[in-house]
């Protein structure tokens, strides 16, 4: 198998670190550059200590653009566009951006949610990786949206681990704040709502229900739990059948007959859904790892699709449930 020469830009952060862990063992990938201006000259294990003995790569602020088949951008929101302006990548180089800069599908980027846009991703050289909450909410609701079941407002709550806020410290990511604590933020105005609504317009013939989303900061490091519910006049068995059919070819989205929990998905690229029906409402729970299916794992899934590989390649990971 010919290896795909790959660089990670912003490789010192959480999503960059997760990409390194996935790609150094990916059978089709040759990781040739870890780009980071702040960590230039450091060995990989000096920044990501869990990779001691796994790789001898050194961080660099140079990008060998003429050698690259693929580039992952793990930069802060707002910096990816500037980076691409400063570096002239070959039109044949696959670019996968993990920020929100191109999730509106500007500048030729395709929105990289495989369960909706798999065929577009396969044909694209520019892929905008979805946000973590956006991934969970869209996977929870996509089959219902496609069936036009949601006629009015859909109510969504979600809780995320502290890694969702990135590696930089702030008052609400500090251990003293998060430990033993839960707090709410960005009620009804979370930034991921824009990309969710665009996908729903795509799935439901130019119409989209109002989404009232209440996000919480959790007192744990990684994982997302989303619960969405809406009025539903059908039966639970009908809904489950539609969801199974919608995700029958999905590599990582699964329907569980049992109640779900976060440990099922931590350290995996899976999203697990569970459906309930109560008080005339269809309730959908979704759990995923915000750093994997919500970020770096999904980015590798998109990498696989863009290069014509099995989308599960390098991502057959098992959770740690104990």
Q: Within this chain, do residues 226 and 302 fall inside the same structural domain, yes or no?
A: no
What tokens were used for 197?
């609504």
Catalytic residue selected from 29, 74, 132, 271? 132
- Angle at the Cα of 298 (from 12 to 120), degrees rounded to 5? 125
Q: Within this chain, do residues 102 and 159 fall inside the same structural domain, yes or no?
A: no
Asked if residue 116 belongs to a domain, the reply is yes
Q: Within this chain, do residues 63 and 94 fall inside the same structural domain, yes or no?
A: yes
Asked if residue 36 belongs to a domain, the reply is yes
**CATH code, domain with 67:** 3.40.50.720
| Total domains in the fold of the chain | 2
Asked if residue 280 belongs to a domain, the reply is yes
Q: How many angstroms separate the Cα of 108 from the Cα of each of 131, 308, 316?
A: 18, 20, 30
Asked if residue 196 belongs to a domain, the reply is yes
Q: Within this chain, do residues 104 and 158 fall inside the same structural domain, yes or no?
A: no
Could you report the per-residue pLDDT of 61-102, keeping only the tens digit for each? 999 999 999 999 999 888 999 999 999 899 999 999 999 999
Q: Within this chain, do residues 99 and 143 fall inside the same structural domain, yes or no?
A: no
Question: So what's the pLDDT on residue 226?
Answer: 98
Residues of the chain with pLDDT under 50: none
Question: So what's the pLDDT on residue 147?
Answer: 95
Q: Within this chain, do residues 140 and 233 fall inside the same structural domain, yes or no?
A: yes
Q: Within this chain, do residues 91 and 162 fall inside the same structural domain, yes or no?
A: no
What tokens were used for 121?
């991703």
Asked if residue 317 belongs to a domain, the reply is no
Asked if residue 148 belongs to a domain, the reply is yes
Q: Within this chain, do residues 237 and 301 fall inside the same structural domain, yes or no?
A: no
Asked if residue 315 belongs to a domain, the reply is no
Question: So what's the pLDDT on residue 205?
Answer: 78
Question: So what's the pLDDT on residue 177?
Answer: 81
Is 274 in a helix, a strand, or coil? strand
Could you report the per-residue pLDDT of 284-314, keeping only the tens digit for each? 999 999 999 999 999 999 999 999 999 999 9
Structural domain of residue 180, as residue ranges? Answer: 132-288
Q: Within this chain, do residues 273 and 162 fall inside the same structural domain, yes or no?
A: yes
What is the total residue count of the chain? 322
Is 309 in a helix, a strand, or coil? coil
Q: Within this chain, do residues 72 and 204 fall inside the same structural domain, yes or no?
A: no
Q: Within this chain, do residues 218 and 148 fall inside the same structural domain, yes or no?
A: yes
Question: So what's the pLDDT on residue 1?
Answer: 62
Q: How many angstroms separate the Cα of 277 from the Cα of each of 97, 144, 209?
A: 37, 14, 20
Active site residue 29: no
Asked if residue 98 belongs to a domain, the reply is yes
**CATH code, domain with 241:** 3.30.360.10
Q: Within this chain, do residues 35 and 148 fall inside the same structural domain, yes or no?
A: no
């Amino acid at each position: 198998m010919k290896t795909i020469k790959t660089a990670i830009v912003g490789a010192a952060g959480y999503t960059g670190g997760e990409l390194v862990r996935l790609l150094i063992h990916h059978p089709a990938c040759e990781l040739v550059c870890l780009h980071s201006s702040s960590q230039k000259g450091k060995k990989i294990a000096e920044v990501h200590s869990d990779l001691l003995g796994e790789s001898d790569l050194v961080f660099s602020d140079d990008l060998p653009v003429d050698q690259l088949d693929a580039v992952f951008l793990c930069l802060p929101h707002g910096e990816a566009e500037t980076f691409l302006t400063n570096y002239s990548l070959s039109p044949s180089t696959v670019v996968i951006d993990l920020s929100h800069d191109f999730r509106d599908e500007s500048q030729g980027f395709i929105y990289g949610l495989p369960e909706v846009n798999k065929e577009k991703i396969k044909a694209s050289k520019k892929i905008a990786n979805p946000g973590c909450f956006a991934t969970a909410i869209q996977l929870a609701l996509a089959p219902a949206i496609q069936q036009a079941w949601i006629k009015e407002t859909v109510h969504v709550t979600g809780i995320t681990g502290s890694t969702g806020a990135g590696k930089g410290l702030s008052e609400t990511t500090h251990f003293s704040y998060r430990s033993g604590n839960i707090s709410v933020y960005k009620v009804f105005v979370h930034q991921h709502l824009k990309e969710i609504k665009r996908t729903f317009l795509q799935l439901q013939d130019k119409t989209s229900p109002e989404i009232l989303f209440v996000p919480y900061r959790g007192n744990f490091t990684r994982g997302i739990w989303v619960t969405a519910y809406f009025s539903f006049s059908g039966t639970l068995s009908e809904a489950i059948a539609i969801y199974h059919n919608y995700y029958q070819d999905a590599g990582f989205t699964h329907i569980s007959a049992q109640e779900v929990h976060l440990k099922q998905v931590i350290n995996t690229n899976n999203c697990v859904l569970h459906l309930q029906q109560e008080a005339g409402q269809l309730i959908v729970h979704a759990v995923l790892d915000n750093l994997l299916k919500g970020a770096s794992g999904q980015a590798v899934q998109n990498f696989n699709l863009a290069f014509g590989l099995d989308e599960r390649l390098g991502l057959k990971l098992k959770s740690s449930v104990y």
